[in-house]
Amino acid sequence: MSEHPTIAFIGGGNMARSLIGGLIADGYEARRIWVAEPDPDQRGRLTAQFPVNATDDNRAAAEQADAVVLAVKPQVIKSVCEPLGEIVRSRGSLVISIAAGVREPDLSRWLGGGVAVVRTMPNTPALVQTGATGLFANRHTTAAQRALAESLLRAVGLTQWLDDESQMDAVTAVSGSGPAYFFLLMEMLEESGSKLGLPRETARLLVLETALGAAKMALESNEDPRSLRHRVTSPGGTTERATQTLEEGGIRELFDGAVRAAADRAGELGKMLGEQ
């Protein structure tokens, strides 16, 4: 038997391509990867980029697989799962879902029950191998299957296991939606710099490099963000004046409310998808 289990991706969109690219860059055997994608143009782009097996038949791909990755839109996942249930049950395959908001009990029910399921919540920076992913495994998932799921998602960034699936709504609100919060901050900083007289491109480049540098400092430091902020805030200086203005404007309460709203919406969407 090959060193690598066979993985079948159901859906060949951006996130699937990112995961495949990360796996192959890590040395995974392309011949052990299958992709089921109905769009012939999409299949062609995939096979031109990666020497993987491609088909338009979900069942044909799943029949080869030790792990099936559901990389389709949440709205269609029920119709995708139900025809695959018999195959994954008979093979004892692991099912990994990267579909946002779809809960493990619903996945298990659509697959017919008794299936090893790992629900994940990756975010869009996975497309550039700097993602952050929360994972939750059901009770049917073995240690080896957990390790396989983790290695798959770790190929595109950081992974964090959750003991309680209800925490996935918070993961969705913090890291799933999180890139948009940072993009909004970048957008606003760029606009402010432009209003102060900087050329738009200069403001943009300064903002992007500052964001990258701040993230790199936080990642490489043993200090928490509060301590790092205090270290770059001189008493009576420009940074103190700016952060005081933000605090007085209620930024903490506003941001907390926004993240809570995202978590609440994640819960609502999960319930709606499960009632399909």
Residue ranges per domain, the chain? 7-170, 176-270
Q: For the chain, give me the number of helices (H) and strands (E)?
A: 12, 8
CATH 3.30.70.100, domain 176-270, yes or no = no
CB 26 within 8 A of CB 109: no
CA distance linking residue 124 with residue 131, whole number of Å: 7
Q: Confirm if 119 and 165 have CB atoms less than 8 A apart.
A: yes
Q: What is the pLDDT of residue 20?
A: 94
Dihedral angle sign, alpha carbons of residues 208, 213, 216, 218: negative
Spatial distance between the Cα atoms of 73 and 162, rounded to a whole number of angstroms: 23
- Give residue 40's pLDDT: 94
Tokens of 202: 């200069």
Residue 31's pLDDT is: 94
Q: How much is the pLDDT for 175?
A: 96
How crowded is residue 63: how many other Cβ atoms within 10 Å of its Cβ? 17
Paired residues of 136 in beta bridges: 119
Give the pTM.
0.91
Tell me the pLDDT of the chain (276 aa) as tens digits: 457 899 999 999 999 999 999 999 989 999 999 999 999 999 999 999 999 999 999 999 999 999 999 999 999 999 999 999 999 999 999 999 999 899 999 999 999 999 999 999 999 999 999 999 999 999 999 999 999 999 999 999 999 999 999 999 999 999 999 999 999 999 999 999 999 999 999 999 999 999 999 999 999 999 999 999 999 999 999 999 999 999 999 999 999 999 999 999 999 999 998 887
The pLDDT of residue 275: 82
- What whole-number distance in Å separates Cα of residue 258 and Cα of residue 227? 24
* pLDDT, position 1: 41
What is the 3-state composition of the chain as percent helix, strand, coil, each rounded to the nearest 5? Answer: 60, 15, 25
Domain 7-170: assigned CATH number: 3.40.50.720
Give which of 39, 44, 36 is closest to 65, Cα–Cα.
Answer: 36
